[in-house]
């Protein structure tokens, strides 16, 4: 599929990737009325879904997956939910394990390649018998999980009509290196301390699984993936985790129409996170790479953000 030409033009004050990223993540505020549902997963753990609804009964629903250390009330998630609700589509803002304000039952948690939870959520929605069309949208880490799910051999139900991945680190190793660069130090520190604080709670919950000394030894995000993410989820080490969970290797097998929106000035992404070759070879992949937008920024001049309006546009086109 030819590369999609982007029409995104940010306001002058948001041309900087840093400013767009920070404003979108820390300053934007939205109000949404959500209803929480807890579902039980295949391993008897739980996950919390935050629903919001169209004013009139709908046969369509969008399922939204957040990024690292996110949750179902982050504006980059609720913005899309509100926009779709206004266009007669229900929305589910997913909270990955440990991200809904309560620790999950096990030492394991969520990670960039955990597609089984996504599969269970979709099957739950189908079991309700309400929806003919299911749309999927993943942000950053959630985008990588989504793309892996679509291409790793999992049977995608026919109710899933289209998907979108935004600011997605298709190459986890390259993105990890980018996050360790000096220019990304503020983000690195913020992510690291959030993850470590949660791991400290896990240590109290499972003191036999990890020691306080190992937690104190974590100095970087790579250390965190080396000490916890990889070992807790069955990988040899951090590099093994990055290699096996990067969605880039699964893109050629995707059969569901999917739009990948990655800004060229996204400092979190490495060169391999822009899969031009894969998009050209697979008619189901639409790759849009605007010059600006930052990481999960895409701030429009007014109203909803570009990635939110673009998602609705793409889904309606491919439905």
Q: For 293, left (φ over 0), alpha (ψ -120 to 50), or beta?
A: left
Q: What integer pLDDT is reported at residue 69 of this predicted model?
A: 93
Which three-class secondary structure state does DSSP give residue 49? Answer: strand
Query: For residue 191, what pLDDT band results from cuts at 50, 70 and 90?
Result: very high
Nearest one of 284, 292, 220, 307 to 2, comparing CA atoms: 284
Residues 252, 278: Cα–Cα separation, whole Å = 6
- Residue 38 has a CB neighbour count (10 Å cut-off) of 11
Per-residue model confidence as pLDDT tens digits over 117-147? 999 999 999 999 999 999 999 999 999 999 9
Listed in order, the ranges of the chain carrying CATH 3.40.50.1820 are 12-170+249-318
Distances 210 to 196, 200, 203, 237, 243 between C-alpha atoms, Å: 12, 9, 6, 15, 24
Q: What integer pLDDT is reported at residue 1 of this predicted model?
A: 57
Q: What integer pLDDT is reported at residue 170 of this predicted model?
A: 98
Residues 178, 25: Cα–Cα separation, whole Å = 19
Tokens 């266009």 belong to 87
Residues 265, 291: Cα–Cα separation, whole Å = 6
DSSP state of 47: E
Per-residue model confidence as pLDDT tens digits over 35-85? 999 999 999 999 999 999 999 999 999 999 999 999 999 999 999 999 999
Q: Which CATH number fits domain 12-170+249-318: 3.40.50.300, 3.40.50.1820, 3.90.1150.10, 3.80.10.10?
A: 3.40.50.1820
Residues 4, 6: Cα–Cα separation, whole Å = 6
85 close to 52: Cβ distance less than 8 angstroms = yes
- For residue 278 the two structure tokens come to 């894969």
Q: What integer pLDDT is reported at residue 249 of this predicted model?
A: 98
- For residue 169 the two structure tokens come to 């680190």
Q: Give kind and range of the element (H or E) at residue 146.
A: helix 141-151
For the segment 86-99, the average pLDDT, to the nearest whole number, is 97
Nearest one of 118, 49, 48 to 81, comparing CA atoms: 49
Q: What is the dihedral of CA 114, 94, 275, 188, to 10 degrees?
A: -80
More confident residue, 306 or 28: 306
Residues 67, 10: Cα–Cα separation, whole Å = 22
Percentage of the chain beyond pLDDT 90 is 89
Average pLDDT value for the chain: 95
Residues 66, 257: Cα–Cα separation, whole Å = 20
């Amino acid at each position: 599929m030819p590369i999609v030409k982007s029409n995104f033009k940010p306001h002058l004050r948001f041309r900087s990737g840093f400013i767009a990223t920070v404003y979108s993540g820390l300053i934007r505020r939205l109000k949404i009325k959500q209803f929480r549902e807890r579902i039980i997963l295949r391993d008897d753990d739980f996950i919390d879904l935050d629903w919001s609804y169209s004013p009139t009964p709908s046969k369509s629903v969008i399922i939204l997956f957040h990024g690292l250390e996110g949750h179902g009330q982050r504006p980059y998630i609720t913005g899309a939910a509100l926009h779709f609700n206004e266009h007669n589509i229900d929305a589910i803002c997913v909270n990955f394990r440990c991200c809904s304000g309560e620790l999950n039952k096990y030492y394991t948690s969520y990670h960039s390649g955990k597609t089984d939870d996504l599969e269970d959520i979709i099957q739950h929605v189908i079991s309700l018998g309400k929806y003919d069309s299911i749309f999927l949208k993943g942000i950053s880490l959630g985008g990588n999980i989504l793309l892996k799910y679509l291409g790793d051999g999992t049977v995608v139900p026919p109710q899933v009509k289209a998907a979108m991945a935004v600011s997605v680190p298709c190459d986890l190793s390259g993105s990890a290196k980018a996050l360790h660069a000096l220019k990304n130090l503020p983000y690195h520190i913020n992510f690291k301390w959030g993850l470590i604080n949660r791991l400290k709670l896990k240590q109290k919950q499972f003191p036999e699984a990890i020691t306080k000394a190992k937690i104190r030894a974590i100095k970087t995000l790579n250390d965190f993936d080396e000490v916890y993410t990889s070992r807790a989820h069955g990988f040899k080490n951090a590099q093994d985790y990055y290699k096996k969970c990067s969605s880039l290797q699964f893109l050629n097998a995707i059969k569901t129409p999917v739009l990948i929106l990655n800004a060229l000035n996204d400092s979190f992404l490495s060169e391999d996170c822009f899969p031009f070759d894969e998009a050209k070879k697979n008619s189901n992949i639409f790759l849009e790479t605007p010059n600006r937008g930052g990481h999960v920024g895409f701030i429009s001049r007014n109203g909803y953000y570009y990635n939110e309006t673009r998602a609705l546009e793409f889904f309606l086109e491919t439905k």
